[in-house]
Amino acid sequence: MNDTGNFVLVSNDSSNLWESFKSPSDTLLPTQVMNLGFVMNSKMSRTNFSGGRFQLRLLPDGNLVLNGRDIASDVAYNAYYISGTYDSSNSTNSGDQLIFDANGYLYILRKNGQTFDVGPRQTVPSGDYYIRATLDFDGVFTLYYRAKNSVANTSWSVAWLEPENICAAMRADNVGSGACGFNSVCRLDGASRPICECPEGFSLLDPKDPYGDCKFNFIPNCNEKESDYEEHIDFIELVNINWPFADYLKLLSGSMNECKELCLYDCFCAVAVYDGTNCWKKRLPLAHGWMNDTELGWAFVKFRKTELPSNNPTQFRERTKGQKTVITVVSALLGSSVFVNVILVGAICLGFVLSYKKGYNQVDKVVETNLTCFSYNELVEATNGFKEQLGKGSFGIVFKGTLGTKTVAVKKLTTLVEDGDKEFKNEVDIIAKTHHRNLVQLLGYCDEGQQRLLVYDYMSNGTLATFLFGDERPSWEQRSNIALGIAKGLAYLHEECCTQIIHCDIKPQNILLDEYFNPKIADFGLVKLLKMNESRTNTGIRGTKGYVAPEWFRNTPVTAKVDVYSFGVLLLEIVSCRKSVKEYESGNEYGAILTDWAWDCFHDKTLDALVGNDLEALDDYKRLTAFVMVGLSCVQETPSMRPIMRNIIQMLEGVVEVNEPPCAYPFSITSN
């Protein structure tokens, strides 16, 4: 570790093998120099150091930019800051390097030797200071300083930041969610940092990520009669907020009431915005939301009268009808006699206490599960009498359904343990608290008599099994991304969610693909509900033939390493595009067990046979070899020899080197 903060790995001949200055995470330090093509990602959140939603890049044309990005595909959105150091008429005037000098000045060195200051000079006080430039998780690029002789708990001071208003700056790009998550609203605090909040009518998709997406609490029903709309639906009124890129219809004139009425009778309208003259209908998801006192207007968010609006911050709201009623009652009291006042005040206080307790209990129940409880008849209607079957598994049958305009998958559970009422509710509560982009999202449930159903997001591209084992071999890049996504989902279940979840049945049929072929793990958290005699293998063993870890057959504890084993088999399937156990004609059983065959191909250096001469995979031979070694490491007979999912992710991403695995089955497997 050099005095500059550069961490260097040095070989025996004193040459640098790797250094942190050439591979920055989210921070630059003085004396650091970055060349054209440099990319730096923010972290995901204050406590999550994985790559986040924002980037600092020195483009090949010489411009330094800040931009948002899609984490899954790493596609960069349009810049919300651009240095302007590209000159199409004179290439020598374009930027060539980003330099952070020893004095704490950050500038772009042009090809002709001239400089362009990224931030203002003379902002760091003179003296002995630590200095750093960090792309923070909220997308703001900030120069910090701190006295070297300061006490340990002294915070860093801000010299300058870019942009000064990220809520407004990101509105220049109509792609992505903006400075905050989808359906969220951005506003600035006193230090020019963004605050992201879900407005009333919305709630956080992940309660642990206040800067993440918000989900709409209202579920539309386009089958409702128009005459029932006024009876069942009302609006939450918010002030001075807007989502400018979510319009699907604009009315050039009309009153506020007309604007609300037009949205009320349109089941596609989630929110209407009125600026005093014009009315805009908004579609979901809402993006680039922000609060600005200079933009006078009202937003009307739908909610059902039978449901409590969410208990989110109320700084966006106007005074509600309830508040106006209280004012009217108080005014009336002031004009009454003292005795009557005492009686009325006592009655009102009692009413407030009872109402508060009732409301608190209702809100607490909503927060506990964060799910919609559907009636059985609602789901019968949504699935058209369970007409279209999507699949069948250990837990029951999955049907396609429609709730309002949203397509859903309804799983009708048929193999639950006896008297499993409490177990069902406990497991549903645990599943409801899981939020990860590589898990299928649970939207609601039904617990009515003997009927227990789960409502999930619908995945338009079906199962990974159909994708992998079809007539056409998927691309290597797609398969690689899918493998990494599954690993991240499992790591979340094992280590990051509030209660550790061991899936126990990882296989291609339990991995679903959304419209962009992002993998989503399904059926997690349900294993405790499965009857033992309904499992796909021997009694007492949970899982599917070909994916079951050896410890299931022994009198040994079952841990998260059973999922690691199953993932290893699945990874080898993704690499080879063939099933874990293959049926062959009698007398030609070689290669029937994929894990054995994969070991032979790896040991004999014939990976071309394993991937069926897939040229795209063979051109990426280093990553192909790493994936195979990871798969073979996961299927080791001894659980302690298998890596954990967090380390698997690092190996798949190429962050850490993969050690050559030993033969997975040096000893025969016994069943005692």
Mean pLDDT of 623-647: 93
Domain assignment of residue 1, yes or no:
no
Looking at residue 667, its pLDDT comes to 45
**669 by DSSP, 3-state: which?**
coil
Domain match, 436 and 472 both = no
Residues 579-634: pLDDT tens digits? 998 765 444 555 678 999 999 999 999 999 999 989 999 999 999 999 999 999 99
Domain match, 284 and 333 both = no
Looking at residue 53, its pLDDT comes to 92
**6 by DSSP, 3-state: which?**
coil
| Whether 83 contacts 116, CB under 8 Å | yes
Domain assignment of residue 172, yes or no:
no
Domain count, the chain: 5
25 is written with which tokens? 């995470």
266 is written with which tokens? 């349109």
At which of 429, 457, 485 does a domain end? 457
Domain assignment of residue 584, yes or no:
yes
Looking at residue 532, its pLDDT comes to 38
Looking at residue 319, its pLDDT comes to 37
Confidence band (pLDDT; 50, 70, 90) for 241? confident
Query: Residue 80, Cα to own-chain centre: how many angstroms?
Result: 22
Q: How far apart are CA 164 and CA 158, in angstroms?
A: 12
Q: What residues act catalytically? A: 505
Looking at residue 668, its pLDDT comes to 40
Least confident of 77-86, 344-353, 419-428: 344-353
Torsion of CA 613, 615, 620, 622, to 10 degrees: 20
Confidence band (pLDDT; 50, 70, 90) for 357? very low
Domain match, 338 and 314 both = no
Looking at residue 58, its pLDDT comes to 95
Q: How far apart are CA 237 and CA 260, in angstroms?
A: 10
- pTM for the structure as a whole: 0.48
Domain match, 428 and 524 both = no
Cβ neighbors of 470 (< 8 A, separation 6 or more) are none
Looking at residue 606, its pLDDT comes to 93
At which of 163, 193, 223 does a domain end? 163
Please give the order of strands across the beta sheet that includes 27-28.
27-28, 129-135, 141-147, 157-162
What's the CATH code of the domain at 446?
Answer: 3.30.200.20
Domain match, 306 and 386 both = no
| Higher pLDDT pick, 338 / 495 | 495
In the block, which residue shows the tokens 């989502």? 243
The rounded percent of the chain whose pLDDT value lies above 90 is 39
Looking at residue 3, its pLDDT comes to 86
Looking at residue 320, its pLDDT comes to 38
Residues 469-500: pLDDT tens digits? 988 899 999 999 999 999 999 999 998 877 78
Mean pLDDT of the chain: 81
Domain match, 22 and 105 both = yes
Looking at residue 330, its pLDDT comes to 38
pLDDT at 140 over 70: yes
Looking at residue 333, its pLDDT comes to 40
Looking at residue 672, its pLDDT comes to 36
pLDDT at 125 over 80: no
Domain assignment of residue 353, yes or no:
yes
pLDDT at 538 over 90: no
Q: How far apart are CA 224 and CA 147, in angstroms?
A: 65
Domain assignment of residue 169, yes or no:
no
| Higher pLDDT pick, 85 / 190 | 85
Mean pLDDT of 23-42: 93
Domain match, 268 and 136 both = no
Domain match, 70 and 155 both = yes
Domain assignment of residue 665, yes or no:
no
Domain assignment of residue 177, yes or no:
no
Domain match, 385 and 358 both = no
Domain match, 19 and 158 both = yes
Domain assignment of residue 666, yes or no:
no
What's the CATH code of the domain at 81?
Answer: 2.90.10.10
* Spatial CA neighbour of 402 closest among 424, 377, 382: 382
Residues 46-63: pLDDT tens digits? 888 889 999 999 999 999
Domain match, 354 and 491 both = no
CA atoms within 13 A on the CB side of 525: 27
At which of 339, 369, 399 does a domain end? 369
Looking at residue 666, its pLDDT comes to 54
Q: How far apart are CA 179 and CA 139, in angstroms?
A: 7
Looking at residue 621, its pLDDT comes to 93
Domain match, 365 and 378 both = no
Q: State which residues form the domain around 202.
A: 185-318
Looking at residue 332, its pLDDT comes to 40
What's the CATH code of the domain at 570?
Answer: 1.10.510.10
Looking at residue 559, its pLDDT comes to 87
Query: Residue 310, Cα to own-chain centre: how many angstroms?
Result: 21
Looking at residue 506, its pLDDT comes to 92
| Whether 54 contacts 134, CB under 8 Å | no
| Whether 129 contacts 141, CB under 8 Å | no
Residues 157-206: pLDDT tens digits? 888 999 988 988 887 666 788 889 999 999 888 788 899 999 888 888 88
Mean pLDDT of 519-541: 59
The pairing of beta strand 241-242 with beta strand 214-216: unpaired
* Spatial CA neighbour of 386 closest among 376, 400, 403: 400
| Whether 367 contacts 185, CB under 8 Å | no
